[in-house]
Amino acid sequence: MTTHTYEATTGALTVRVRPEYLQDQSDEDERRWVWAYHVDIENRGPETVQLLARHWVITDGVGRVEEVKGLGVVGKQPTLRPGERFSYSSGCPLSTPSGLMAGAYRMVSDRGHQFDISIPTFSLDIPGERRVMN
């Protein structure tokens, strides 16, 4: 199965996302399709930064939009020193067999400056299915 990695860079911070369809957790009869997404955040800058919060915008295959906001990711608010990376995995169920996710992380520098970094828009598609532009 081929998966695509999506990437966005804001300043010195790069976010990479690799979605993965979870067929064993999906059930077409129940109208439930599930994906994992694997995120890697890399700090290529000279300052230490901390991830404070997340803001996701999830769009299903018929255009319904859900926003998810919260502190940290997977229960953590990681600190990244220059040259460090933080990786985590999470999941997203949809009621359609395709969709899109995008968003931003709220960061704070070691000097107290808060700013947002982009999470790249990525596609949630069943492998082998014809892609539908959402």
Q: Is 80 exceeded by the pLDDT of residue 102?
A: yes
Q: Is the pTM of this model over 0.85?
A: yes
Q: Could you give phi then psi for residue 25, rounded to 5 degrees? A: -105, -5
* CATH number corresponding to 6-125: 2.60.40.1470
pLDDT above 70 covers a percentage of the chain that reads 93
pLDDT at 111: 95
Q: What is the largest CA-CA distance in the chain?
A: 52
Task: Give the C-alpha separation, 47 to 54, whole Å.
Answer: 20
The SS3 assignment for 78 reads coil
Write down the domain spans for the chain.
6-125
130 — pLDDT class (breaks 50, 70, 90): low
Length of the chain in terms of residues written: 134
Counting beta carbons within 10 angstroms of the beta carbon of residue 131, is it exposed (0 to 12), middle (13 to 18) or buried (19 or more)? exposed
Which pLDDT tens digit goes with each residue over 35-85? 999 999 999 999 999 999 999 999 999 999 999 999 999 999 999 999 999
Rounded CA separation 74/93 (Å): 16
